[in-house]
């Protein structure tokens, strides 16, 4: 008999013992961990960048302008022009294995799985990008295919913002909303002052200083956000300030002034201040001898760190008379960070892991 109504849900794997009263007890499958990062174009060319920007900038969590108005601006003015300008910048930072953000994020996912499995945990770790590939949907599908009925979503955003963490949660929920047999879910909202994040970050800076000496000033440059978003209730600005305070305390270097700034302004509206490049230009005019910069909100290097900070902001500082500018890389696949990421994940897997395997500290 033909089906009169198609199911609105995705097809599920058939259970061979579905109606068998003597069916064996189902085994508990592995725990799934989905690491989520922002995303990147597939290739450093205008066509790939256009596809990526079209998806990224169409997210209402990212651009809070009425979509009918915004889509006209995006399609007529931004997407026809911006990709060709960005292509050379992406080519300059592209690695042999792909975009730095993808390469380093995948290394974190691989490192996390190897670490947890070596500790005896039955886990599968997948990477999902909010925009581009590999997608969040593909990561969830791989975890489901591996038998994961419990999934922890761990955004690679230490500080919470609606335009990063919340939209990742939205995307996970939207994909699972198409499924009949959904997994049990947990989400990590933030870990901006967690010792297993601040500790590796401080160690990364200290290692750099041990090799290159210390600066007069350390600039912590976070991704910017429209000020209006914070005024409407987004806690991102406070998260960034608390990260800066925690990192300043962990470094405990009275001779180095630690400052906070925000990069990547877009559009004409007022964003979080102080702005990174104008701050560096002012320091250059003041004759500051050496500035080191690091981007604590980015756990993997990308265009905004390797090109905007390491090149554009360095040039701005030097043009105005500054002495030396040093960029300190993101944590990327740093072993101490992978260990910290593992402890962070295990902490949020409490109750899912066998009690004897949960490490104590």
Instruction: Write out the binding residues.
Output: 223, 304
Question: Closest by alpha carbon to 130, among 102, 110, 152, 92?
Answer: 102
Question: Closest by alpha carbon to 292, among 190, 199, 219, 200?
Answer: 219
Annotated binding-site members for Fe(2+): 223, 304
Integer-rounded Cα Rg, in Å, for the chain is 22
DSSP codes joined into one string, 187-239 = E----TT-HHHHHHHHHHHHHHHHHH---SEEEEEEEP-BHHHHHTT--HHHH
User: Which are the contacts of 3, defined by CB distance < 8 A and separation ≥ 6?
Assistant: none
User: Which are the contacts of 316, defined by CB distance < 8 A and separation ≥ 6?
Assistant: 277, 280, 281, 284
> Could you tell me if residue 197 is left (phi over 0), alpha (psi between -120 and 50 degrees) or otherwise beta?
alpha
Yes or no: say if 349 and 152 are a contact pair by the CB < 8 Å rule. yes
> Hey, what are 106's tokens?
């995948």
Report how far apart, in Å, the C-alpha atoms of 27 and of each of 102, 142, 147, 260 are. Answer: 34, 18, 10, 50
């Amino acid at each position: 008999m033909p089906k009169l109504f198609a199911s609105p849900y995705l097809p599920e794997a058939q259970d061979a013992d579905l109606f068998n009263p003597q069916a064996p007890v189902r085994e508990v499958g592995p725990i799934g961990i989905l690491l989520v990062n922002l995303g990147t174009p597939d290739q450093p060319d205008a066509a790939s960048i256009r596809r990526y920007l079209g998806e990224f900038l169409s997210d209402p969590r990212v651009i809070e302008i009425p979509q009918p108005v915004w889509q006209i601006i995006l399609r007529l003015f931004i997407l026809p022009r911006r990709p060709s300008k960005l292509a050379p910048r992406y080519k300059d930072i592209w690695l042999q294995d792909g975009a730095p953000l993808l390469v380093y994020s995948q290394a974190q996912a691989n490192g996390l799985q190897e670490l947890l499995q070596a500790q005896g945990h039955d886990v599968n770790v997948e990477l999902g990008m909010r925009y581009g590939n590999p997608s969040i949907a593909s990561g969830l599908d791989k975890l489901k295919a591996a038998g994961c009925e419990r999934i922890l979503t761990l955004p690679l955003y230490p500080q919470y913002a609606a335009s990063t963490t919340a939209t990742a949660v939205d995307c996970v929920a939207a994909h699972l909303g198409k499924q009949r047999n959904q997994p049990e879910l947990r989400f990590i909202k933030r870990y901006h002052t967690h010792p297993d994040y601040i500790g590796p970050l401080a160690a990364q800076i200290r290692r750099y200083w041990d090799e290159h000496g210390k600066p007069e000033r350390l600039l912590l440059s976070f991704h910017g956000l429209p000020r209006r978003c914070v005024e409407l209730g987004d806690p991102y600005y406070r998260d960034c300030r608390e990260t800066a305070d925690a990192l300043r305390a962990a470094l405990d270097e009275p001779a180095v002034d630690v400052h906070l700034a925000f990069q990547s302004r877009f559009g004409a509206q007022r964003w979080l201040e102080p702005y990174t490049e104008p701050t560096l230009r002012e320091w250059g005019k003041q004759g500051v001898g050496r500035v080191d910069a690091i981007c604590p909100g980015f756990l993997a290097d990308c265009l905004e760190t390797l090109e905007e900070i390491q090149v554009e902001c360095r040039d701005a500082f030097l043009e105005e008379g500054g002495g030396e500018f040093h960029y300190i890389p993101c944590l990327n696949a740093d072993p101490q960070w992978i260990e910290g990421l593992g402890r962070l994940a295990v902490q949020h897997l409490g109750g899912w892991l066998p009690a004897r395997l949960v490490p104590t500290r």
